[in-house]
């Protein structure tokens, strides 16, 4: 793994953002598109069932959780990994994540590696992806495969979509060495997205890759599903500002692409969850204009929402001030669309470039707290070690980097019943959980890193059993009971 990692400029450029009127938290929560019919009933299945034979459970406040093979509300917490050729995920990595209590891996994969030449697939790369899933099968880690791109692909000095699938019509491209995200606004890059969305042969090639991949991987118990397209973008029309262009792209070209890919994958895999992403504009508190999506599979739809959660000023090297309304605006904007559509929300990427500064450490805590309110899972960026900073979530010894402790705290991995509220204060060690019980045990990860000695357990409405060796706590309760749990040091 690399010792440091940088993601500078991954949010929209500040100069472009200056022209955008960001709504307040109250005004951001606008009505979402009309949802497709969504099943919100949990489905209990037998113990021998596949990891993906699951349903959903939805809370009164509109949060939807994927259920595990016992019908319990599943909470996913983990990391992004595998983005670079010299940073492939190994079985040791997967085991290390599991040993620290994490049950989720957003595995970054790229079209350019699957199909470096048109029609010629690299079977070794498919084998690599399968080897990660094999390890995750053994470790009980749930995997979301993310089809990643940054600034379209290698034709522009970045990664993602292969050069042979890049069409620019001869428009200019000049890389910005000071901020890689500015490269998205180059005419050649924007035109390449238009061709991907509109050209019949490129559409067919993209669908064919997904069919081959889904057919190859179908059946892995650890495979939760697929993130169809990372941080999508497109081409501005004359006179459009950022908000108008992003909304149009989401409502038309991007939604159309998702419809096509959903249909293609469903020809070979009826089980996987399929996750859609908005453009990165949601980071400014602007609700997405994505349409709702029909799922042709038999039974309830399995379409999820996978937005990202980055702060622009922090991305540009600043230390979070805490008074910019960022978390409040984001939370208000992000919630309406998945709630109206009955979609589970799993934050595909979030994190800070240096958690060791006071403001950024506070941002990590604020984001974890926020995601406890609107999401059923998240993947932090990025699984690697660093002694000094960068996006590496771990310190040099492989433990939580200073400031990242809130992300490494206790959490309820599987809740038997209706989830309520959950919160962890890393400074004091106080953890609280509430839920309405159903039949079956609720299981929590309670790390020794947060509790050097056995935590003090207070529970009403149920009975708790703490296993120090396994770093877990199990709660049983009569169905319908209101359970309140508190852990302290």
In tens, the pLDDT along 315-349 reads 999 999 999 999 999 999 999 999 999 999 999 99
Q: What does the DSSP assignment read for 22-80?
A: PPPHHHH-PPPPPPPP---------TTS-TT---EEE-TTS-EEEB-TTSPEE-EEEEE
Nearest Cα residue to 415 out of 68, 132, 41: 68
How is 174-232 classified by DSSP, letter by letter? ---TT-GGGGGGSHHHHHHHHHHHH-HHHHHHHHHHHHHHHHHHTT-TTEEEEE--SS-
Tell me the CB-side half-sphere exposure of residue 361, using CA atoms within 13 A. 12
Enter the tokens of residue 234: 């497109």
Among 189-193, 224-228, 284-288, 325-329, the least confident range: 284-288
**Predicted pLDDT at 16:** 43
Fold of 410-489: Immunoglobulin-like (2.60.40)
Q: What is the pLDDT of residues 215-262, one digit of tens each?
A: 999 999 999 999 999 999 999 999 999 999 999 999 999 999 999 999
| pLDDT (0 to 100) of residue 18 | 37
Condensed to tens digits (0 to 9), the pLDDT of residues 345-363 reads: 999 999 999 999 999 999 9
Domain ranges of the chain: 14-408, 410-489
Q: Which two tokens stand for residue 380?
A: 């932090």
Q: Which CATH architecture has domain 14-408?
A: Alpha-Beta Barrel (3.20)
Nearest to 275 by CA among 216, 341, 204: 341
Per-residue pLDDT at 283: 83
pLDDT at site 24: 35
pLDDT tops 70 at residue 439: yes
Instruction: Please give the average per-residue pLDDT across 472-477, as a whole number.
Output: 98
- All residues at 6 or more sequence positions from 398 whose CB lies less than 8 Å from its CB, including other chains: 96, 385
pLDDT for the residue 362:
98
Token pair of 356 as six digits: 């060791």
Report the pLDDT averaged over residues 394-410.
98
**Structure tokens belonging to residue 302:** 């399995």
Cα separation of 24 and 29, whole Å?
9
Q: What pLDDT score does 389 carry?
A: 86
CA angle 80/82/84 to nearest 5° reads 125
**pLDDT value, residue 19:** 39
Distance from C-alpha of 318 to C-alpha of 311, rounded to nearest angstrom? 10
Q: How far is CA 162 from CA 114, 174, 196, 435, in A?
A: 9, 19, 11, 47
The band of 277, judged by pLDDT with boundaries at 50, 70 and 90, is: very high
């Amino acid at each position: 793994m690399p010792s440091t990692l940088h993601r500078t400029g991954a949010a929209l450029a500040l100069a472009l953002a200056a022209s955008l009127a960001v709504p307040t938290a109250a005004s951001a929560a606008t009505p979402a598109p009309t949802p497709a019919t969504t099943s919100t009933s949990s489905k209990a299945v037998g113990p021998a069932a596949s990891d993906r034979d699951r349903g959903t459970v939805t809370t009164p406040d509109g949060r939807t959780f994927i259920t595990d093979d016992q019908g319990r509300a599943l909470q996913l917490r983990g990391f992004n990994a595998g983005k670079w050729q010299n940073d492939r995920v190994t079985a040791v990595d997967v085991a290390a994540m599991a040993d620290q209590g994490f049950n989720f891996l957003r595995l970054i994969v790229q079209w350019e590696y699957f199909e470096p030449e048109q029609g010629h697939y690299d079977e070794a790369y498919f084998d690599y992806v399968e080897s990660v899933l094999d390890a995750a099968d053994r470790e009980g880690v749930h995997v979301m495969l993310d089809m990643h791109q940054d600034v379209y692909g290698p034709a522009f000095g970045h990664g993602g979509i292969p050069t042979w699938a890049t069409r620019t019509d001869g428009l200019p491209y000049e890389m910005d060495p000071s901020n890689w995200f500015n490269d998205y606004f180059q005419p050649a890059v924007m035109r390449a997205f238009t061709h991907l969305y509109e050209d019949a042969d490129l559409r067919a090639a993209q669908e064919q890759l997904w069919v081959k991949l889904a057919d190859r991987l179908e059946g892995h118990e650890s495979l939760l599903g697929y993130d169809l397209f990372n941080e999508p973008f497109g081409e501005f029309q004359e006179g459009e500002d950022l908000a108008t262009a992003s909304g149009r792209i989401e409502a038309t070209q991007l939604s159309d692409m998702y419809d096509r890919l959903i249909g293609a994958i469903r020809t070979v895999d009826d089980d996987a969850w399929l996750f859609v992403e908005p453009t990165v504009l949601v980071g400014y508190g602007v609700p997405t204009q994505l349409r709702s999506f029909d799922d042709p599979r038999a039974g309830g739809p399995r379409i999820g929402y996978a937005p990202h959660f980055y702060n622009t000023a922090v991305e540009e090297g600043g230390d979070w001030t805490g008074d910019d309304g960022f978390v409040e605006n984001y939370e208000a904007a992000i919630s309406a669309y998945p709630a109206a559509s009955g979609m589970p929300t799993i934050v595909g990427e979030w994190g800070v470039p240096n958690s060791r500064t006071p403001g950024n450490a506070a941002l990590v805590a604020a984001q974890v707290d926020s995601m406890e309110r609107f999401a059923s899972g998240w993947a932090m960026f990025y699984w690697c070690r660093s002694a000094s900073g960068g996006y590496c979530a771990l310190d040099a010894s492989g433990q939580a980097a200073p400031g990242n402790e809130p992300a490494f705290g206790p959490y309820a991995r599987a809740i038997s019943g209706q989830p309520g509220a959950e919160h962890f204060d890393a400074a004091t060690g106080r953890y609280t959980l509430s839920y309405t019980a159903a039949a079956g045990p609720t299981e929590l990860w309670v790390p020794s890193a947060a509790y050097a000695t056995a935590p003090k357990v207070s529970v009403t409405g149920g009975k708790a059993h703490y296993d120090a060796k396994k770093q877990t706590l199990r709660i049983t309760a009569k169905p319908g009971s209101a359970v309140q749990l508190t852990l302290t040091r």
